[in-house]
Amino acid sequence: MNTVLTMIRRELGSTFTSPVAYVFLVMFLVLSGFFTFMIGGFFLRNEADLNSFFFWFPWLFLLLVPAVGMRQWAEERRQGTLELLFTMPVSVPQAVLGKFLAGWIFLGIALILTCPIVGTVCYLGDPDPGPIVTGYTGSFLLAGAYLAISGMTSAFTRNQIVSFITSTVLCLLLVLVGFPPVTGLLLKWGAPAGLLNFSAGLSVFYHFNGMQRGVFDLRDIVYFLSLMVLALVITGVALKNRRG
Amino acid sequence: MIEARNVKKYFGGKAAVAGISFSVRKGEVLGFLGPNGAGKSTTMRMITGFLPLSEGTVTIDGCDIEEKPVEAKRLFGYLPENAPAYQEMTVSGFLKFSASIRGLSGEAGENAIARAVKLCHLEKVLNQTIDTLSKGYHHRVCFAQAILHDPPVLILDEPTDGLDPNQKHEMRELIREMGRTKAIIVSTHILEEVEAICTRVIIIDRGELVFNGTPRELRARAPQGERLLVTLLGVDGDGARAALEALPQVRRVEILGREGESLSLALHPSGRQENFALTIKKALDERSWQFSELHTESGRLDEVFRSLTTSDSTGRKEGAA
């Protein structure tokens, strides 16, 4: 446990000494504001909720979260510090968990920094706190799932760009298999409904949507957590076998 | 302390390390030699548990590196090739991380860091980020990380690479000093270094062990053996050669070159002789020949190294025996 904490501290320390972290935070806040107010029509909807805010997260995270995860292992490999790390008394699961948690905490901080938007809705109206709580929980879980996937692609390469693109594509697939316009089109083309329901069940979009609307379903949480565990396990296996 | 048994590594069906066995005891400094690409770094990476072994076992003080990796890794400090370190961290931050991950916290951690900083002379750069450091400092930061927890085993991949001559000297002193109480493996290209610090040498070539012995035994394998270098002044070359070759103690005289008045010769003794240099000096004095240089050159390590690691298969078999 101490080892994991040490890993987390080092990762967060390194994150916040690099300008990339601040660029990320500014980008995230600007873009989430832009989508909410300009594209999501926050004011036009005339409703005191954060739907137009949370709605964009599966898409916004698609670009931003892989930017956080892509360097996790690729950078270690490039700098040669992977050799240093794995000859220290650190087990692979500890290292994987430490890095993942550090990234997740960073994304959590980014989400917390969006709190002015909650203030805005509260000032303008009287929102139901339920959907806000589940919306934030869902966003945090979604960010974690994307992060675990981009950490996984990062473990396979020393090139951050490759890692970024691969993880964006993987995450995009996870969105699209449950995205109504896509599933609708497939249904029209004659795909069996059972298969589409199944694929939708695999989609982050489907599970996030529920939470965004204020539905607190244990299955959604289990879905996100198992996605993370799966990606982290694959990361561990990749690191164990291909460390050169 | 370190026990490697029949260590093998295949990369895509090709053997990079083809079955190497050796052991290092406490108080030994083992020099690990070999040409580039011979499998030195691969072997070191397997000993340190970074690369999984294809076959064989490695134990550090009885701890199997594959079965109990974390326990085994506590027992050694490792300086990888090119001395990697987290570039964006400060030196003190990096050392604190290394201490903490080795379970040294609070006062124990601070003491360990202070000791390593002092040994590696890092006081001046403690608050600099690592990417701003020179190559020498870089190396010392990574070395500091390796000795931080005062481990019983040290594994150093080219520890003097990139250091200036003074730092090299200091690093060798440090390794020799630590070698009294620890088991150390040092890989190097520099043959003088082997003589300066190592108590034992192994040489590998194309993944195979071709020599395992003391530096002295290594030198004794020199194809040239011992020879005496003489520089004579104002003497005719062929005449001198004929006169010296006439001596029963001299097997062969080689003219190495002539520069103005001075003539350089290499004299090969016939068989082992205790006082070869003295015999020659007497002979020169008898003829009243002036000389400006007279020194014994023992077998040259680079020649041994070359003969062991070139494609000559007979040398290879002999060496492995």
Instruction: Determine the Cα angle at B60 with ends B57 and B62, to 5°.
Output: 85
**Residue A138, C-beta contacts closer than 8 angstroms, at least 6 positions apart:** A54, A207, A208, A210, A211, A212, A220, A224
For residues B34 and B204, the answer to whether their CB atoms sit within 8 Å is yes
Distance from CA of B170 to the nearest CA of A (A): 24
Question: What does the pLDDT look like over A119-178, one tens digit per residue?
Answer: 988 898 888 888 899 999 999 999 999 999 999 999 998 899 999 999 999 999 999 988
Q: Which residues pair with B252 in a beta bridge?
A: B268
A180 or B56: which leads in pLDDT: B56
Domain ranges across chain A: 2-173+201-241
pLDDT at B109: 92
On the question of pLDDT at B301 being above 70, the answer is: yes
Is the model's pLDDT at B275 over the cut of 90? no
- In whole angstroms, what separates CA B251 from the centre of its chain? 33
What is residue A74's three-state secondary structure? Answer: helix
* Nearest chain A CA: its distance from B89 CA (Å): 7
Q: Which two tokens stand for residue B241?
A: 């050669």
- Ordered by where they begin, the domains of chain B are 2-220 (3.40.50.300), 227-297 (3.30.70)
Chain B residues in contact with A17 (beta carbon < 8 A): 88-89, 129
Residues B87-105 pLDDT 10s: 999 999 999 999 999 999 8
Nearby residues of A81 by Cβ (< 8 Å), 6 or more positions away = B84, B85, B86
A200 with A183: CB under 8 angstroms?
yes
In what helix (H) or strand (E) does residue B23 lie, and over which residues does it extend? strand B14-24
Task: Please tell me the distance from the alpha carbon of residue A227 to that of residue A174, in angstroms, as a whole number.
Answer: 11
Q: Which helix (H) or strand (E) holds B3?
A: strand B2-11
Q: Could you tell me the pLDDT band of residue A101, with boundaries at 50, 70 and 90?
A: very high
Chain B positions in Cβ-Cβ contact with residue A90 (cut-off 8 Å): 70, 73, 101
Supply the pTM of this predicted model. Answer: 0.84
The tokens describing A129, both together, are 């706190």
Which of chain B's residues have a Cβ under 8 Å away from the Cβ of A19? none
The pLDDT of residue B24 is: 94
* Ramachandran category for residue A80: left, alpha or beta (phi over 0 → left; psi -120 to 50 → alpha): left
For residue B316, pLDDT over 60 is answered with no
Kindly write down the DSSP assignment for every residue of B110-160, as one continuous string: HHHHHHHHHHHT-GGGTTSBGGGS-HHHHHHHHHHHHHTT--SEEEEESTT
**Which DSSP helix (H) or strand (E) runs through B57?**
strand B55-60
State the DSSP string of B276-297: HHHHHHHHHHHTT-EEEEEEEE
Token pair 């011979």: residue: B38
Question: What is the amino acid identity at position A80?
Answer: G
- Cα separation, B151 vs B245, in Å, equals 57
Q: Which among A3, A9, A243 has the least Cβ separation from residue B50?
A: A243
Mean pLDDT, rounded, for B112-140: 93
CA B290, CA B308: separation in Å to the nearest integer? 39
Q: Which residue of chain A comes nearest to B94, CA vs CA?
A: A10
| Res B115: pLDDT | 94
A187 pLDDT band (50/70/90 cuts)? confident
**Per-residue pLDDT tens digits for B242-264:** 888 888 888 888 888 888 888 88
pLDDT (0 to 100) of residue A193: 81
Residue with structure tokens 């939708």? A200
- What type of residue sits at position A12? L
Query: In whole angstroms, what is the distance from residue B46 CA to residue B132 CA?
Result: 31
Q: What is the mean pLDDT of residues B302-318?
A: 62
Residues facing residue B297 across a β-bridge? B227
Sheet holding B76-79, edge to edge: B76-79, B153-157, B183-187, B29-33, B200-205, B208-213
Identify whether the C-beta of residue B52 lies closer than 8 Å to the C-beta of residue B66.
Answer: yes
pLDDT at B224: 61
What confidence tier does B223 reach under pLDDT thresholds 50, 70, 90?
Answer: low
Q: Which residues of A touch B52 (CB under 8 A)?
A: 240-241, 243
Judged against a pLDDT cut of 60, whether residue A36 lies above it is answered with yes
What whole-number percentage of chain A has pLDDT above 70?
99
Q: Which residue has the tokens 């920094």?
A: A113
Cβ pair A2:B74 closer than 8 A? no
pLDDT at A243: 55
Whether B314 has a pLDDT exceeding 60, the answer reads no
Q: What angle do CA A14, A16, A21 make, to 5 degrees?
A: 110
pLDDT of residue B312 exceeding 70: no
**If pLDDT is split at 50, 70 and 90, which confidence band does B268 have?**
confident
Write the ipTM: 0.88
Q: What is the mean pLDDT of chain B?
A: 87
Continuous H helices in chain B: 40-47, 69-74, 91-101, 106-120, 135-147, 165-179, 191-197, 215-220, 237-245, 276-286, 301-309, 313-320
Q: Average pLDDT in the B145-174 region?
A: 91
DSSP secondary-structure letter at A51? H
In this structure, the strands spanning B153-157 and B183-187 are parallel
> 10 Å Cβ neighbour count for A243?
17
Say which DSSP state B67 is in. T
Per-residue pLDDT band at B225 (split at 50, 70, 90): low
Chain B residues at the A interface, defined by Cβ less than 8 Å, are: 45, 48-52, 69-71, 73-74, 76, 78, 80, 82, 84-89, 93, 97-98, 100-103, 105, 129, 142, 145
Q: A94 to each of A36, A107, B59, B73, B104, how far by Cα in Å?
A: 38, 20, 23, 14, 17
Residue B240 vs residue A64, higher pLDDT: A64
CB atoms B48 and A81 under 8 Å: no
Check the CA dihedral B139-B145-B148-B154 and report its sign: negative
Over the stretch B167-222, which tens digit does the pLDDT of each residue have?
A: 889 899 999 999 999 999 999 888 888 888 999 999 998 888 888 988 888 877 77
Interchain contact, A240 vs B52, CB within 8 Å? yes
Q: Is the pLDDT of residue B36 over 80?
A: yes
Which pLDDT does position B315 carry in this prediction?
Answer: 42
Three-state DSSP string of A109-126: HHHHCCHHHHHHHHHHCC
Q: Is the dihedral of CA A216, A219, A220, A225 positive or negative?
A: positive
B222, B300 Cβ separation under 8 angstroms: yes
Best of B50, B94, B96, B149 to substitute, by most chain A Cβ atoms within 10 angstroms, is B50
Give the confidence band of B265 by pLDDT, cuts at 50, 70, 90. confident
Query: In chain A, helix, strand, coil percent, each to 5?
Result: 80, 0, 20
**Rounded Cα gap, residues A244 and A238, in angstroms:** 11
Mean per-residue pLDDT for B4-32?
Answer: 91
